[in-house]
Amino acid sequence: MVTIASFIFVLGILIFIHELGHFLVAKKAGIRVEKFSLGFPPNIFKHKVGDTTYCIGLIPLGGYVKMAGDNPLEETAGAPDEFLSKPIAHRAAVIFAGPFMNYVLAMVVSFGLFAFGGGEFITDPDRVMIGQIQPDSPAELAGLQTGDQIISVDGHPVSSFDSLRYRIYAKPAQAVELVWLHDNDTLSTSAVTAVRPLRNAEGGVDSVGQLGFTEMTLGRVQYSLGEALVQAVNDTHWKVAATAFFLKEFITGNISSKAVGGPIFIAQLSGEQARRGAYALFNLIALLSINLAVLNVLPIPILDGGHLVFLAIEKIRGKTLSIKARTWAQQIGLVAILGLILMVTYNDIARLFLGY
């Protein structure tokens, strides 16, 4: 239930903000909006206010804003409140508003996290201190307790959590010799690590060792409102750059298609982050909002970026593309999107049942 509820919550926010951008700018431009829908039919809610019918669909995998005269393949009346009757700049603003609102959402969420939740965790820079211990984990069975300090693993001194993780990861389902401090007493034992699946850059899964405890934290770095704003701007732009880099690497084949996930993967992530707390869940929302913004501005027909390309061509030529050209372009875009959907769906199912 946590996974389902968090998935609907996360996706609902992302879709609502995206479509709200289209809706608000369309209204501002004097375009008649016929329908505002969250989710796809069958509808579980439907209510008309003025010219607009507001809907909530049972399938929460998207949404749309239907504007009067927004489809050049359909017959239009040429009324002044129709989408195609507006200047190119107004139409471009309406289209771009969706991805831009996702960018704004990420910025606002990041600002809230930094301003009220703080930044990165503060940990002891010179010692490996044990935080939370998972029940029935190798760490608990070995007698480790919260507040203990790990001194060495297999005779190798460890002074940072990264150095500890490096040695434990390398020995899945194997015995490791641990030495630690507990209330000024030096203790030692042998513990057999658990096996944890860890996704790699190629989209596959590696098996790594795990003892089952987290590093003790001493709170988070606190920021003033001004510092939080700077951190939010930097964090949001880092997410944009990271998303663009991932797409480039994926398109050029440097990243496996297995690394791409769909709705089921997002649901799993949402559930995992929700269990970790509100901070982790909203950080995921900020990341996914940037992902959605960047993906939507790709120059692929049927996406917002594809429509912007059509408008740019119209501006250069002084007239719209022919119906035939637009139809062909949209069909190509549809095939590309359907191919992507099939790929991510296969990946999601494979993760669930094949474990990769």
Q: Is the separation of the CB atoms in 204 and 356 below 8 Å?
A: yes
Buried b (16+ CB within 10 A) or exposed e, 193-224: bbebeeeeeebebeebbbbbbebbeeeeeebe
Q: Which residues of 27-62 are buried (b: 16+ CB within 10 A; e: fewer)?
A: bebebbbeebbbbeeebeeeeeeeebbbbbbeebee
CA distance 300 to 283: 28
Cβ–Cβ under 8 Å, residues 18 and 44: no
Give strand pairing partners of 128.
150
Instruction: Name the 3-class secondary structure at 119.
Output: coil
Percent of the chain that is helix, strand, coil (3-state, to 5): 50, 20, 25
308 vs 314: CA distance, rounded Å = 10
Catalytic position from the list 19, 202, 249, 314: 19
Q: How many Å separate Cα 279 from the centre of its chain?
A: 14
Q: Between vectors from CA 124 to CA 123 and to CA 125, what angle results, nearest 5°?
A: 105
Q: Which amino acid is at 80?
A: P
> Which residues, other chains included, contact 313 with Cβ-Cβ below 8 Å and sequence gap of 6+?
321
Q: How far apart are CA 233 and CA 227, in angstroms?
A: 10
| 75 carries an active-site annotation | no
- Smallest CA-to-CA distance from 164 within 172, 174, 173, 154 is with 154
Tokens of 120: 């990165």
Cα(178)–Cα(211) distance, rounded to whole angstroms? 11
What φ, ψ does residue 37 adopt, rounded to 5°? Answer: -125, 130
**Residues that are catalytic:** 19
